[in-house]
Amino acid sequence: MSGRVTDEVGIDVTRSPSSHHHVENLPYVHKVGVPPKQKLLKEVTSTLKETFFHDEPLRPFKDQPKSRKLVLGLQALFPILEWGRDYNLSKFKGDLVAGLTIASLAIPQDIGYAKLANLDPQYALYSSFVPPLVYAFMGSSRDVAIGPVAVVSLLLGTLLQNEIDPSNKVEYRRLAFTATFFAGITQVTLGVLRLGFLIDFLSHAAIVGFMAGAAITIGLQQLKGFLGIKTFTRKTDIVSVMHSVWTAVHHGGKKNRKWFWVPAIAPLISVIVATFFVFITHADKHGVQIVNHIKKGVNPASANQIYFTGGYLLKGFRIGVVAGMIALTESIAIGRTFAAIKDYQLDGNKEMVALGTMNVIGSMTSCYVATGSFSRSAVNFMAGCNTAVSNIVMSCVLLLTLLVITPLFKYTPNAVIASIIISAVIGLIDIQAVILIWKIDKLDFIACMGAFFGVVFVSVEIGLLIAVVISFAKILLQVTRPRTALLGKLPRTSVYRNINQYPDATKVPGILIVRVDSAIYFSNSNYVKERILRWLTDEEEQVKANKQTRIQYLVVEMSPVTDIDTSGIHAFEELYRTLQKREIQLVLANPGRAVIDKLYASGFANLIGEDKIFLTVADAVLMYAPKTEEP
């Protein structure tokens, strides 16, 4: 007797046919149905759509007139056209305060960050004028504050000086603009092609370690200005830096939101006070090192300085790709954090296009790589910003600074700038995050420490490489060595769970139940087969020693198996033949749609028998061990 119905997810629910058991004494047993075969083109199309267009960016354009599509297209490219319609004076007040506050923080920071990139101070100020303006019109974050950042400045300076001596200012500056151009092209390309998932290959743990290592390296580099050391190494590792410091010496918490503005304006006040005293005391003539001349005026055009041909083209491209990826990672991580706090959606692909466009335009207006700044964004948020207009306000203040104020910074002592940079990067060292990573995942902790020590003891680029390699190694390890578990039945239920996680779970006499917690591909198929056989061998030894019921069925719980390839099918065929020699039946439970489709397409379902594939483990146990299990 058999009947067929369909459940709400399209799976056939059938009374199990069997001539070997008294079916009339059993309740309904659910059998897994075969989904209708998809056409190849439709399957490929749906896969590509889910991979690259999972957010369905074209949905708002459906069934719209051409004029409306044009408006929606412009709003998609320039989000300011959408949220700007609801902008009012109340929002502007918050943005004005936030913009003025982050500008007061940006000016002294920029002077220091330019030193990290081995560029004159005005180029960092340029980078806090044009890019934020572009981002304000194209960015989708309300809270990210744009400008040069310490980590990218250090990375760019390190990579550039490996190619050109910074003392050759013209060629060095041209390569910086070239790298910035290609950083922008990389970011735009990732956004347009919707390849933002690539930046996720840098794990959170690796980024934490990389940032902490970079913070220490940046802080150590500032010892030159802080201590007034004239001869200093160009290397960034801790050994070289401390050797320079020793040689020079040998020879000669959470902040109260109400008071956010105090630490925010403190750097600018320090600069003003220190500059004033150096000027009136002429301390620069008595050994105090100062910033010296900062060029006055707005950004000059630099499109003609970018290397589009010649030997430096490829070098600029390589440096730009690396700097662009790191800049993206930092900015999007910051944007997602504040978007989660304020409960709004951040479009990662729009962010990439916005960041890339501003860097491409920036490279043509004497800017170097800009991105979302952690310290400025935090101050921007605390100051009560409402929209990206705070970036416009900051840009206006920077414009005023470039036109009027820059000559006043001539007497700013390097020691003050160095101390500002040190205080700014301290926030990049997140001890609590490292402790949490250690508690959660030891492999993540290894990635974190690998990136940290690589940056501190070798160089920024080596630390970055270590972070990427360890992140990929973790992925490969998890893919090639997936978890498996023995399942047992929880008392008074029909639920089967990991016996190591649930001590009350009991094994089923005569049946071994194994769960595979991963897709089965060529990279792990042999391991999965061998691991299942090891489970079986160990269980058989225990059964024999305790004189229990011989294992007659091996049930593989496949609900976590999201996919299987040809190698996986082949491994299961080998497993089936091995079990046949031991007189053990192979039974599958709850294979997903993609898996069951391939099991039938390969003929494996017919090989083991369709009656050996069940919807749940409970159904399989009810079928093959009805006398030893409670219904």
Q: Is the pLDDT of residue 253 over 50?
A: no
Q: Is there a domain that residue 39 lies in? A: no
Q: Provide CB contacts within 8 A for 486, sequence distance 6+.
A: 498, 499, 500, 507, 512, 513, 514, 515, 535, 539
Mean pLDDT, the chain, whole residue set: 81
Query: Do residues 455 and 497 share a domain?
Result: no
CA-based nearest residue to 465, from 477, 453, 476: 453
In a domain? residue 365 = yes
Same domain flag for 161 and 191: yes
549 and 410 part of one domain: no
Whether residue 334 is found in the same domain as residue 451: yes
Instruction: Please give the average per-residue pLDDT across 480-489, as a whole number.
Output: 92
Q: Give the pLDDT of residue 2.
A: 35
What is the per-residue pLDDT across 301-338, written as a single tens digit (0 to 9) for each?
A: 999 999 999 889 999 999 999 999 889 888 887 888 78
Instruction: Look up the pTM and report it.
Output: 0.71
Answer whether residue 42 is part of any domain: no
In this structure, are 430 and 521 located in the same domain? no
The pair of three-digit structure tokens given for residue 465, joined into one six-digit string: 């490489």
Verify that 381 and 464 share a domain, yes or no.
yes
Q: What is the pLDDT of residues 83-116, one digit of tens each?
A: 888 899 999 999 999 999 888 888 888 988 898 8
In this structure, the answer to whether residues 419 and 320 fall within a common structural domain is yes
Answer yes or no: is pLDDT of 555 > 50: yes
Residue with the larger pLDDT of the pair 124 and 383: 124
Q: What is the DSSP letter of 366?
A: T
Looking at the fold, whether 321 and 388 belong to one and the same domain comes out as yes
pLDDT of residue 222: 61
Q: Which amino acid is at 586?
A: L
Exposed e or buried b for every residue in 378-393, given b needs 16+ CB within 10 A?
bbbbbbbbbbbbbbbb
Domain count, the chain: 2
Tell me if 41 is assigned to some domain.
Answer: no
Does the structure show a pLDDT above 80 at 41? no
Band (pLDDT 50/70/90 cuts) for residue 273 is confident
**Residue 285 located in a structural domain:** yes
Q: What is the per-residue pLDDT for 133?
A: 96
Q: Identify the sign of the CA torsion 174, 178, 179, 184.
A: positive
> Of the segments 9-13, 464-468, 509-513, which one has the largest average pLDDT value?
509-513
Q: Which residues contact 164 (CB under 8 A, 6 or more apart)?
A: 171, 172, 175, 312
CATH code, domain carrying 514: 3.30.750.24
Does 424 fall in a domain? yes
Give the residue numbers spanning the domain of 620.
Answer: 482-624
Burial of 516 (0-12, 13-18, 19+ CB in 10 A): buried
CA distance 394 to 470: 39
Q: Does 486 have pLDDT greater than 90?
A: yes
**Do residues 179 and 319 lie in contact, with contact meaning Cβ atoms separated by under 8 Å?**
yes
Q: How many angstroms from the chain centroid is the CA of residue 438?
A: 19
Picking from 458, 474, 490, the residue at the C-terminal end of a domain is 474
pLDDT, tens only, 412-428:
887 877 777 777 677 77
Rounded CA gap, 59 and 72, in Å?
Answer: 11
Comparing CA positions, the residue from 143, 185, 197, 193 lying closest to residue 355 is 185
> Which residue, among 513, 535, 531, 516, has the nearest Cα to 619 in the 3D structure?
513
pLDDT of residue 34: 61
Inter-residue contact 107 to 275 (CB < 8 Å): no
State the number of CA atoms in the 13 A half-sphere of 340 facing the CB.
6
Is the model's pLDDT at 225 over the cut of 70? no
Residues 618 and 504 in one domain: yes
* 411 in any annotated domain: yes
Cross-strand partners of 4: 14
Cβ contact 482:528 at 8 Å = yes
Beta-ladder partners of 290: 413
| Same-domain status, 501 and 599 | yes
Q: pLDDT band at residue 178, thresholds of 50, 70 and 90?
A: very high
State yes or no: pLDDT of 11 exceeds 70: no
Calculate mean pLDDT across residues 249-265.
55
Verify that 211 and 326 share a domain, yes or no. Answer: yes
Together in a domain, 590 and 460: no
Q: Is residue 78 part of a domain?
A: no
Looking at 409, 439, 474, the residue that finishes a domain is 474
Last residue of a domain, one of 426, 454, 474: 474
